[in-house]
Amino acid sequence: MEDSVPTSFQEKILPLVKENLLIIALFSGGLILLGIGVIQMTGQKQAKIRFESGTKVEGSPVAKIKVDVEGEVIKPGVYELSSDARVQDALISAGGLTSNANRKAINLAAKLADGQKIYVPAQGEAVMTSTTGIKGITGLVSINSGTQAELEELPGIGPVTAGKIIDNRPYGSVQELLERKIVGKTTFEKIKDLITL
């Protein structure tokens, strides 16, 4: 009986294999081709993809400006602040206001510019006012926002030159008045300490 089992198995399988030989050959060939394809794909060196990160906004250094804080403050002097600083930030850096400071003459929300001077007047001290707010807190005329009348108050600046200053706005520095030939060297020397951005 032991010999009959393999014979009967062979007798059953061989006719099936013979009938389906073409299908078995095609299936086996497909498996071989698939195996070769997989081997070739895994054997090839793949191009390395590199990801480059962009500039980090959070880690970037913040631009700095320097402002001179004088008058009725605890610690007058020059302070370095971020470029988006306000008058309030400068006054905090200077230790705050004295008890004699004229708080009504100061616009704490005014934005600062590099090289700007902030003068805090004493109570009872005459204060220069302005519609722009800059002259009121600093005593300086803004070349970027001062009115025609305010600009004409500067020594050597008449209606024509004030108009030129207004027409050529904005300015990145007060030095640009000289560089762009809006004013001459003599006039610039007269007004450079009286103007701001």
pLDDT in tens, 64-122: 888 888 889 999 999 999 988 888 999 999 999 999 988 887 888 888 888 888 888 88
- Delimit the CATH 3.10.20.600 region(s) of the chain: 59-139
Q: What is the CATH number of domain 59-139?
A: 3.10.20.600
Q: What is the CATH number of domain 141-197?
A: 1.10.150.320
- Delimit the CATH 1.10.150.320 region(s) of the chain: 141-197
Residue with tokens 């300086």: 140
Respond yes or no on whether the N-terminal peptide bond of residue 170 is cis (omega within 30° of 0).
Answer: yes
pTM tops 0.85: no
What does pLDDT average to over the chain?
Answer: 79
Contact status, residue 122 vs residue 97, Cβ threshold 8 Å: no
Whether 182 shows a pLDDT value over 70: the answer reads yes
In this prediction, residues 37-52 reach a mean pLDDT of: 66
In this prediction, residues 123-140 reach a mean pLDDT of: 56
pLDDT score, position 95: 94
